[in-house]
Structure 1
Amino acid sequence: MTAADRNVSDCSRSFARSNRMQARLHELVPGGAHTYARGSDQYPEHMTPILTRGEGARVWDVDGNEYVEYGMGLRSVVLGHGYRPVVDAAHAAMCDGMNFTRPTELEVLAAEDFLRIVPGAEMVKFAKNGSDVTTAAIKLARAATGRTSIAVCRLPFFSVDDWFIGLTEMAAGIPVAATADVVRFDYNDLATLEARFQANPDGIAAVILEAATATMEPAEGFLAGVRALCDTYGAVLVFDEMITGFRWAMPGAQTLYGVTPDLSCWGKAMGNGFPIAALAGKRELMELGGLNTDRNRVFLLSTTHGPETSALAAFRAVVRAYETVDPIGRMERAGQRLAEGVNAAAAELDVAEYVRVIGRPSCLVFTTCDQDKAPSQGFRTLFLQELLNRGVLGQSFVVSAAHTDADIDLTIDAVRQALDLYRKAIVAGTVEGLLIGRPVAPAIRRGAAPRRIAPTAI
């Protein structure tokens, strides 16, 4: 048995078929995955499950291993895999045709549903992914104001397009000019945003941010202050609701915190895994991409698959589920139980200073620190490795409404066992000898190292 197929712990899981299929993926697909966050470099080396199916909060891989999954499709699956009302609605729509040369009745009904549940929005346009709608929002703001500068909050991710990715470590192939008009400001720091406005009093077209994140809530008055600055300087306020929408509240963080943006961008949970996103906002802005304007028109969003019927039907079924079965309440309860259980286990094993679950109960993450209490990719990988070996898959502890008490109990037990080995690594001051392969690496980084695929492996 090779190191790639054996396990560090006493668990008997094999990843042999997954390893072979992952190697094949690297031959066929750049990065071995279609999303960088799903890449093999985000998981322990030689332990990258290739999945075959899911049900509820459980998934199975090609080796027959079963897992409780967290993250759930990068936070897009809130009701659980294979949730029948959503699947049935999408299937019925598919059977009547998925794409036509004219709008369908579903486009009317889905738009009415969306605008009914998001009170600050007056018009909506559907698309397939979040990057398209955030970039459309930026374009719309620039057209509406006649300005070019954008104030972007220092948060992890807004778009795959040049105006944002050009600010990251993966800026290869992007002209410097693409980000020349982008300025940054800090979350919960109104002074940094005000300074940007003062330096560009007539230049900032839009301010874009998430109202909250998994680990950061808005300070008292912060969002209202951002709204006031945008009003004072004539900028368009854009909220990215990709994660907060349908997870903080169905109508988004904007209703929870009582601050209405001019434009908002949606995706992920609104389709329970089906590909759908939305740009919504004030009529006076949105109509710049329509026919009820005397101004030069904005080429806003025009996609072949934006209005395909299965995703619109799935969205409508998600809305009905939120109105009848309280998915957010279920996520909050499951997340609270999980956080309390894991943190209690860490305290019992005297590693609470090294491993901790933090964040909103519906959007939990875990911290993994080394013997010096500094964040560590090596120790994170050890933790992931031991959870995988015990049937828990995920880069976070983001729950869904499908996570049951049994799922949470299995996870807490797996964590308790994983932390026993983690504690040994803390005492030893190293993961060497306990970790198979190289540590995970940031998904967005300049080079393939430290998880470059060896030339002989392709």
Structure 2
Amino acid sequence: MTRPRVAVFDRSNTLQEELHRLIPGGAHTYARGSDQYPDSMAPVLARGRGSRVWDVDDNEYVEYGMGLRSVTLGHAFASVDDAVRAVITDGVNFSRPTDLELEAARDFLELVPGADMVKFAKNGSDVTTAAVRLARAVTGRTGVAVAEQPFFSVDDWFIGTTDMAAGIPAASTSQVRRFRYNDLSSLEEILVAGDTACVMLEAATGQAEPAPGFLEGVRELCTRHGVLLIFDEMITGFRWSAHGAQGVYGVTPDLSTWGKGMGNGYAIAALAGRREFMELGGLNTDRERVFLLSTTQGPERVGLAAFRAVAAEYRTADPVGAMESAGRALADGVNSAARAAGLADHVRVIGRPSCLVFVTGDADCVPSQAFRTLFLQELITRGVLGQSFVTSAAHTAEDITHTVDAATAALEPYGEAIDSRSVEGLLRGRPVAPAIRRHAAPRRLREDSNDTNQQMPR
């Protein structure tokens, strides 16, 4: 069984303070923020290889989450990095398309069923928003139906529907309607009211598989009501299969959006869809043109080279099978340990094997940020880093054994907290907080500081 290390976070904590001074939130992604980790235990990372990462204090971890699910092959994967090195010596960004754009488009469209054209970009928000814009142009309608799933875009039309809506006019979200995943009646109720341009959803998530007939029913409803169906494949693409969730479940959307795993951590995203729709952003249409996507960095050669190398790996190997095998072993091991400790109702590993999460409940089995933080704290002290148990193809049997041992040891203080119905005396700081929330509290940096409450100029 793994023992707590004498882990030192001195340099990480110093750098984290400086990060907060220079970068709002101390990170460029809210999910990477220090408020997502136990107080004074948010490692600042220096390097990674395979499934392992090292922080600036030279602590080593088995990492999960893998770049917010963007790394499927493992950190510093040789063939991907080699492909990037091969192109950067000849320049990466020009004033005209390169041959690499055509080759990458061919590779992508060979993988994605039902798509005739693709437009590359650099982040998922750009392509999901472009999909909405295109659907509105195609249909002449403005309504957007989105599944009650966590995240689709940083743009106003979506983020204004979340708890972090400051600065976003209500008009930006007035046409967005939510429906319940796996509940066709809740979607049909929106569509029969009219004025819906598109339906956007993740075909599946790490925690929810489509019920029999659900996706087929969504497809039929969209066709019947003249609504475009958009699959968000940011997470499912290259993690469910190289063909995305649509390749697994056999339902073809009108448009689909991609990112994350398609570059194994390198920045690349894509909007794909049927020619009759995509051409509205091109030069082969008599209709009014759509400003679909036009980005300076979208076609730069680093991301395209990385994608082509990832696609080649998926053609010749089975990364999804490797991720799922590691995930099954991990879930079985941790869940068995929880049962043995009498904590099976309090700590559970659930989800698709390639996209696992852990659920942490309090003494009443209610999901708890405080108990989640205690579990994270005990894992970190034993060399396991991650807000989930999302694996990559690089996770080895040794990694899984190490993680199961760490989780088994973490269950001891967790059980003490369950028995006492409190984490007091066991948790070393404040609990973590949701990444998207209205106020900095309960993880405001300095409770006695009023530097953000100064009177604004009139």
Scaled to the shorter chain, the TM-score interval is over 0.9
Cα deviation for residue 456 of structure 1 reads 6.4
TM alignment of 1:235-274, pairs within 5 A: 235-274=227-266
3-state secondary structure, aligned to 1:239: strand
Query: Aligned partners of 2:4, 2:244: CA distance in 1, in Å?
Result: 44
Alignment partner, residue 104 of structure 2:
110
The C-alpha deviation readout for 1:289-330, integer Å capped at 9, x for no partner, is 000000111111000000000110000000111111210010
Cα deviation for residue 11 of structure 1 reads 2.7
Alignment partner, residue 69 of structure 1:
63
Cα deviation for residue 455 of structure 1 reads 6.2
- Which of residues 203, 208, 216 is equivalent to 2:208? 216
Query: Aligned partners of 1:321, 1:112: CA distance in 2, in Å?
Result: 16
Cα deviation for residue 278 of structure 1 reads 0.1
Alignment partner, residue 30 of structure 2:
36
Query: Aligned partners of 1:95, 1:412: CA distance in 2, in Å?
Result: 43
Matched, 1:451 2:443: yes
3-state secondary structure, aligned to 1:363: coil
Matched, 1:329 2:321: yes
8 A Cα contact 2:144 2:196, kept in partner: yes
How many residue pairs are counted as aligned between the two chains? Answer: 448
- Which of residues 19, 25, 33 is equivalent to 2:13? 19
* Structure 2 segments unaligned to the other structure (5+ residues): 452-458
TM alignment of 1:373-384, pairs within 5 A: 373-384=365-376
Query: Aligned partners of 1:95, 1:79: CA distance in 2, in Å?
Result: 24
Q: TM-score, normalised by structure 1?
A: 0.97
Alignment partner, residue 454 of structure 2:
none
TM alignment of 1:384-395, pairs within 5 A: 384-395=376-387
Counterpart residue type for residue 179 of structure 2? F
Alignment partner, residue 47 of structure 2:
53
- Which of residues 168, 172, 175 is equivalent to 1:178? 172
Query: Aligned partners of 2:45, 2:177: CA distance in 1, in Å?
Result: 40
The C-alpha deviation readout for 1:137-181, integer Å capped at 9, x for no partner, is 000000001111111111000000000001000000000000111
Query: Aligned partners of 2:12, 2:44: CA distance in 1, in Å?
Result: 5
Query: Aligned partners of 1:325, 1:115: CA distance in 2, in Å?
Result: 19
3-state secondary structure, aligned to 2:153: coil
8 A Cα contact 2:192 2:225, kept in partner: no
Matched, 1:406 2:398: yes
Matched, 1:121 2:120: no
3-state secondary structure, aligned to 1:206: strand
* Structure 1 segments unaligned to the other structure (5+ residues): 1-8
- Provide the aligned C-alpha RMSD in A: 1.0
- Which of residues 391, 395, 418 is equivalent to 1:426? 418
Alignment partner, residue 144 of structure 2:
150
Query: Aligned partners of 2:170, 2:12: CA distance in 1, in Å?
Result: 40
TM alignment of 1:122-141, pairs within 5 A: 122-141=116-135
Alignment partner, residue 456 of structure 2:
none
Alignment partner, residue 348 of structure 1:
340
- After TM superposition, the runs of 4+ consecutive aligned structure 1 residues lying more than 4 A away are 455-458
Query: Aligned partners of 2:185, 2:345: CA distance in 1, in Å?
Result: 33
